[in-house]
Structure 1
Amino acid sequence: MLKKRIMALMAGALCLTAWSLATAEPAQAQVVRSEPIAPGVVEEMHHWQNARIGVWRCDLTNPNTDLRLVAGAGEYTRRATVGQMSARTNAVAMMNGDYFNMALQGSPIGPSIVNGRLQSSPAVIIGLYSLGIDAGGTAHIEAMTFNGGVKAADGASFPLDGLNKTYYWHDPSGQESHTDTIQMYNDFWGSASRGHATNTEVLIGPDGTVEQISYGKNLPYPVPDGKIILQANGQGELFVKKHLKIDQKAQVWAGVQPDRQWKFLVGGHALLVNDGQLVPYTKDINVLGGVRARTAAGISADGKTVYFACAEGRTSRSAGLSLGQLSRFMQALGADKAVNLDGGGSSTLVSRPLGSFNRQVAIAPEGFGAQRAVVNGIGIFNETPEGPVVAGKLSGPSRLVQGESGQFGLASAWDANYHPKATQGLALTYTDGGQNGIWDGPWFVALQPGTVSVKALADGRELAQKDLVIQGPEAVSGIRIQLDKFMVQPGDFVNARVFAKTLDGRSIELSPRVINWQLEGFTGDITGEYGAFGINQLNNLANGKIKATFGNHTAEAYLGNPAYRLLDLGIGQSQYWLDGQAHQLDVAPYIHEGRTLVPLRLIAEAYGGEVTWSDERREVEVALGQTRIILPVDENRVTVNGDSRPIDVSPQIRNGRTFVPIRFIAETVGMQVEYNDQSRTVSIIAPKE
């Protein structure tokens, strides 16, 4: 029962399900980002079959490619998250590595080399494969076995079963790893707990001297620095009792086969791709089946390129991958061989984008959960010398509308070895080739549609470039004009600004340079480059008008003659304008029986009149100049200077205010009324006394 429970808790090596190969062509991956992050390493972000997948392409022909395996918090049994490992070791990028048993001490299932030393052995389980890089800089994915043993001073020897292993069961024999065997632990094992507490242990010093033997129980301390502990059971314990003696020498060795003088080694699970062909996943274990977060490694046919992939799973932006999809993705990357690494809740990728001083989570843990503490991680490092800035990334828009302005800057920078560099203090100039706009420092005004290359220069050297698409008037849905004054007289200057609403919902200001300007009614001089108008004559008109044209879009804005009183009211709007100044109404004008009704008191007082209300007769009297009008509420006849006249819409009371049909009142007293159907605005114009 214990064996079944422990196996069910394993996070990887014993946690996958069988799958069948699909024959359908995979969808083309969309590479949304691709950039070098360290010498010999390019990081890519793929969107493929509803999955977000981070990829590293590692070029082993580059002598500065620095790929290492990192152990948790520095030793096995001391786990850490991918983010913690990357911060502790100053890695440029990090992702999770080998499978491990979550229920026991934290050590990997497979072999590992950390800091140049073999720190764990491959488990005795058939069908597991490891990724290694040999001393000549060639990568291999192959099955590995452990080659270890102990030789006593009397010449007797006994094979070691493993190095720094938690207990597990051999496959296919089913033998328990710490029964009838000898296990080796070195000072990279950070815990005082090892294997089975009732097993015999032997402490061996750096020179091979047997220093202490504890029969039937563990030694009560972690492995001292520079020493090793052998844990023996059954046949292994009989060997210890018969052949190992305190103060005598013992020779202990540990290695893996094949022996290629490995400088990098990490364990994995089963093959995904072999000789460029998809491989059916035959290990039928059920915990990590389905569509999940995944991690994998692959190599090119010549072993000079290593591919790492980390797929986000079960988040709002990424479903994850099945094992079959993972195989096809690795094949599509170009892997000749590929192996499945620890996936599910362990899959996480943290990296420092090119030019950034800060790491970010590029591939989030499954379901956007917390990062899982794991036993090891695969890291990208950069310990090359630092130099001056050679390149950077431009900040600023990728798309502008003709006439729109955009600010550019150097968002980040790096040297020839991809170390991030500070951008402060760099004297930059900007250019677009001089064809499509004008520059004012970092500000660019787009004047001509087209695609241009914006560049940042330092001392005449190009540091950064980005493409900018300039769209024409077809990219906006409409324009409007804003003037700095309304009432004008001869000799005044008026400045006009044009704003546009883009099809994607942005509100932008357009340069006056792209506008075709007109002045109507009033006469004057136009300086279109600045949107400036010098008013010369008002021509005895109440209003003049500035008109702007941008492509097929037009807008108008009125100017006022101070010799006239100008009142503008919007239907259904509580705001009104008197001589260009905005004011508020407590009750808005409205339409009734096809007529526009407005507050009578507003009209009268705006034009110097008086309003008197008779509650007894329910009528209102208004005096405007020489005209006196009596308007009974809800009746269709009014009295003008003593004469009774019909009115097509009777005065009405709304919210305590008397509303009257504006056209009747205005025309009765000699005012001019204009109605703008498009803006639903009523304008009342009358000369001032």
Structure 2
Amino acid sequence: MKKIAKNLLVLVVLLSMVVSPLNAYAAQTVKKDYKLSKGVQYKQYTYSSTKTNSINHIAINVDEPTTEVQLGMPATVNGKESTVANANRHSREGNRVVGAINASFFDMSVGFPLFLLSKDNVILNGGAVSNGSDEYMNVPTAFGVAPDGRGVIDYFDFDVTLSHKGKNYEMSGMNRARNIYEGIVYTPQFYSKTTNTNEYGFEIVVDTGAPITENKFGQTLTGKVKQITPYGSKEKISIPSTGFVVSLQGGDWHSKLSKIAIGDELSVNFSIDKLWKDAKFILASGPYLVKDNKPYIMMSTSSSRAKAVVPRTVVATSNNGKTVHYITVDGGQKHSAGMNMVQLANYLVSLGVDRAINLDGGGSTTMGIRNPGTNNVVLANLPSNAGNAQRLVSATLQAVSTAPTGKGAIIKYTHSTNHATLLAGASSSIAVQYIWDENYNPLPLEGRVSLKSENNTLKINGLNYTSTTAGNDRIYINHDGTPVQSFQVKVVDAPAEMNIAPKSKTVGSGETVKFTMDAKDEGGKPLVYNASQVKWTVEGNIGTITSDGKFTAKNPGATGKVVATLGKKRAEAAVTVAKGALFKDIPSNYVYYKEIEYLTKNKIITGQADGTFRPNDKLTRAHAAVIISRALGLNTSNVKNPGFKDIPANHVYYKQIASVVESGIMSGKGNNTFDPNGTLTRAQMAKVVALAYKLDGTSGINFKDVSKNHWAYTYVQQLAANKITTGYGDNTFKPNEAINRAHFGLFLYRAIHK
């Protein structure tokens, strides 16, 4: 084995020298980052270079006294188990598996590991070293844990030595398939009861006389030859429980050992070089990827295996082995492409690891982590198999916390009111997601979590509490009676600020409006209160309101307030109950609603037979006479005939027209006519209103279309002086424009109320 290692080492080092690291660490985006135990940190991130990859990374600080790196094996050496199942099976109190990755390469057909595996100097599998620079482990390299707990990545020298009559013979290996020209030793620890070799060789059966229960480094087995099978024999040779079988193929072996006879004494010794002596475990794999923080790929980088862009699993070390890294790269999926060996080595260098070695990848690549808040190990990455299913593997590497479960120290909880200030009488609660001890071991919650009020001003009910009086208090969250965390609770007897929305509202009779209220503390943050603490009332005969702020209006035209009281503070909203429509075309929000309403209520003006007012219709002279006579309360029972030939005694408005003419407010036109259906101009309106209400005065307003020599100048000035008219925005009065019903009503209303 030493000769193979030396010959291939030169070749592979030359092949790996072309690799140079890429500085791409800045291309990482962290998605998850949290502790799995006191000495174990988990991260998940995406890494983008030429393609995007999803990386899962467990960093293990073995310098932390309760943190270990362990080898996880199935129930039998040739057994297979998923990474997560293997981790959960090994996890127990005082030995909690918090993270794991798949490890060694294995024969997928029988599940037997391909390379060296040992634990506490016990050889679990003798393994092989492959021939050819395109093989993953063409030189003997391994990851293991030194007696002091540090991670080690280096070459190893495992020797199986046969001794006969003072001569030593270096064997090819132990407890694995015999290949051409090899000498293999089979012990009772082989997964099969027979050697399962072909007929192209010969085998020597040795009995030591005592049961062999394990194989260890430094162990020597000595016994007598009991059987020798000739070359070409197809006999299935059983491995004795008290001995071993030496299986040999090739003429060289025949010439060396053909003189061995029945009854001869044979010894076999298993040894490992000094670096690995007394290691807690050794797991051989390859290729070597990084050494001294530089790419160091121990296989041909031009080989198809090295160039394949696939999922990868890696174990690495830094800080002189005090930090061990488990790293998986998902591959062959939309979220993650995978890496070839050069990309992988360069990426590991960018992470800053000192040494790294490749483990079984492809569909085997799997990482499990302890699910926060539980002791269950769950899948962390997405294996490339159909449905992301885990492949059953032959061995795992595990991150283990040996700390026993202690008292609560770390908690994750949510607070229903986010620690806001409470109004006296208001309630709040917490919900606990998990509680850990100081070593991140989860603690049971059911019936074990309680609250306590420091000053006893908070009424406790399970994980709920209710404030009773204003002041400051503190809530302690206890686990089994021991405080884990606490928080301050501030209670006030009234909000610092309180508002109602809407602040003012005009509501139609019978309409319902939902009023809301918000209250803030002295810092301007929302105050916590129970909805039942808000007292809603109504001031004024405007309607009713429910306990949750739903107001129903009544009594059109009424005004009042909606009032919300919370603690010692109140807020108000002004409310007007809108009046109903006077006419179909005069809604409650009509601009001259008030004026038309007054004239209508006092029976000065009326609408049309179809229920409309027609505010934009031009006012006739006859209607103007009727409205003025009503407004002034003129006597129409005994009037003098004005003698207009178009106003006979039987005219519908004869009396009203006669009364205003007799009063000198209106007059006829030429040809002894009144023209009852003619329209009234704004200038004529000015005269009628000025005479009707005996207006006087002069205004400072000089309308540019009513000069001093205009016949209606005096009347227009009298209206302006009494604030009955202001004219238009362009400083005109428009004296010749016919006045409509709405504007006449407006001027009349102002004249009445001057």
TM-score w.r.t. the length of structure 2 is 0.54
2:282 to 247, 265, 268: 265
1:67-82 alignment, distance < 5 Å = 67-75=69-77, 77-82=78-83
Q: CA deviation at 1:65?
A: 3.0
Q: CA deviation at 1:366?
A: 1.6
Asked if residue 376 in structure 1 is aligned to residue 421 in structure 2, the reply is: no
1:529-544 alignment, distance < 5 Å = none
CA distance in 2, matches of 1:259, 1:218: 41
Q: CA deviation at 1:343?
A: 1.2
CA distance in 2, matches of 1:19, 1:444: 68
CA contact (8 A) 1:135 1:260 kept: no
2:102 to 96, 99, 105: 96
CA contact (8 A) 1:296 1:338 kept: yes
CA-based RMSD of the aligned residues comes to 5.5
Q: Secondary structure at the match of 2:328?
A: strand
1:350 to 368, 387, 401: 368
CA distance in 2, matches of 1:480, 1:316: 52
CA distance in 1, matches of 2:560, 2:271: 94
2:170 alignment partner in structure 1: 159
Q: Secondary structure at the match of 2:26?
A: coil
Asked if residue 186 in structure 1 is aligned to residue 198 in structure 2, the reply is: no
2:40 alignment partner in structure 1: 41
Change (3 A) 1:136 1:497: same
Residue identity opposite 2:397 in structure 1 = I
CA distance in 1, matches of 2:56, 2:185: 37
1:58 to 57, 60, 73: 60
1:302 alignment partner in structure 2: 320
CA distance in 2, matches of 1:225, 1:560: 103
Residue identity opposite 1:98 in structure 2 = S
CA contact (8 A) 1:26 1:328 kept: no
Give deviations 1:453-494, integer Å, cap 9, x for gaps: 99844478553699xxxxxxxxxxxx999xxxx999xxxxx9
Residue identity opposite 1:304 in structure 2 = K
Q: Secondary structure at the match of 1:314?
A: coil
2:250 to 195, 220, 234: 234
Asked if residue 256 in structure 1 is aligned to residue 272 in structure 2, the reply is: yes
**Which of the pair has more CA radius of gyration?**
2
2:331 to 304, 310, 313: 313
Change (3 A) 1:26 1:408: same
Q: CA deviation at 1:64?
A: 3.7
2:653 alignment partner in structure 1: none
1:463 alignment partner in structure 2: 484
Give deviations 1:110-159, integer Å, cap 9, x for gaps: 3221364122245155455311222233332212233121112x233321
Aligned length in residues = 499
CA contact (8 A) 1:312 1:364 kept: yes
1:112 alignment partner in structure 2: 117
CA contact (8 A) 1:79 1:106 kept: yes
Question: Gapped runs of 5+ residues in structure 2?
Answer: 1-11, 132-137, 213-220, 468-473, 488-500, 519-525, 565-571, 581-586, 588-607, 615-754
CA distance in 1, matches of 2:40, 2:234: 45
Give deviations 1:178-233, integer Å, cap 9, x for gaps: 22221123344313575643243344444532444444457647755564333211
CA distance in 1, matches of 2:147, 2:237: 36
Change (3 A) 1:52 1:186: farther
2:302 to 284, 291, 296: 284
CA distance in 1, matches of 2:557, 2:237: 102
CA distance in 1, matches of 2:392, 2:144: 23
Question: Equivalent pairs: percent with the same residue?
Answer: 19
CA distance in 2, matches of 1:534, 1:369: 55
2:751 alignment partner in structure 1: none
Q: Secondary structure at the match of 1:238?
A: helix
CA distance in 1, matches of 2:184, 2:45: 43
CA contact (8 A) 1:59 1:304 kept: yes
Change (3 A) 1:455 1:196: farther
Q: CA deviation at 1:361?
A: 0.8
Residue identity opposite 1:78 in structure 2 = G
CA distance in 1, matches of 2:475, 2:337: 37
CA contact (8 A) 2:561 2:574 kept: yes
Change (3 A) 1:43 1:284: same
CA contact (8 A) 1:203 1:228 kept: yes
CA distance in 2, matches of 1:284, 1:57: 31
2:732 alignment partner in structure 1: none
CA distance in 2, matches of 1:39, 1:78: 32
Asked if residue 141 in structure 1 is aligned to residue 141 in structure 2, the reply is: no
1:209-248 alignment, distance < 5 Å = 209=223, 210-215=225-230, 216-217=232-233, 220=236, 223=239, 227-235=243-251, 238=254, 242-248=258-264
**Higher mean C-alpha deviation, range 329-338 or range 345-354:** 329-338
CA distance in 1, matches of 2:454, 2:384: 44
CA distance in 1, matches of 2:417, 2:187: 59
1:86 alignment partner in structure 2: 87
Residue identity opposite 2:148 in structure 1 = G
CA contact (8 A) 1:181 1:236 kept: no
CA distance in 1, matches of 2:562, 2:38: 60
CA distance in 2, matches of 1:197, 1:132: 34
Q: Which has the higher strand share?
A: 1
CA contact (8 A) 1:158 1:239 kept: no
TM-score w.r.t. the length of structure 1 is 0.58
CA distance in 2, matches of 1:513, 1:558: 22
Give deviations 1:521-580, integer Å, cap 9, x for gaps: 7589999xx9866999977778988699xxxxxxx999999xx9x9xxxxxxxxxxxxxx
Change (3 A) 1:265 1:390: same
Q: Secondary structure at the match of 1:27?
A: helix
Question: Gapped runs of 5+ residues in structure 1?
Answer: 1-12, 168-177, 447-452, 467-478, 489-493, 500-507, 549-555, 567-594, 596-641, 649-689
CA contact (8 A) 1:69 1:112 kept: no
1:124-139 alignment, distance < 5 Å = 124-125=130-131, 126-127=138-139, 129-139=141-151
Asked if residue 422 in structure 1 is aligned to residue 441 in structure 2, the reply is: no
Give deviations 1:262-281, integer Å, cap 9, x for gaps: 22211221233221223467
Q: Secondary structure at the match of 1:106?
A: coil
Change (3 A) 1:394 1:401: closer
2:5 alignment partner in structure 1: none
CA distance in 2, matches of 1:431, 1:289: 65
Asked if residue 323 in structure 1 is aligned to residue 325 in structure 2, the reply is: no
Q: Which has the higher helix share?
A: 2
CA contact (8 A) 1:517 1:546 kept: no
Change (3 A) 1:546 1:265: farther
CA contact (8 A) 2:19 2:295 kept: no
Q: CA deviation at 1:349?
A: 1.2
1:353-502 alignment, distance < 5 Å = 353-367=371-385, 368-384=387-403, 386-396=404-414, 408-429=430-451, 442=463, 456-458=477-479, 462-463=483-484
CA contact (8 A) 2:448 2:480 kept: no
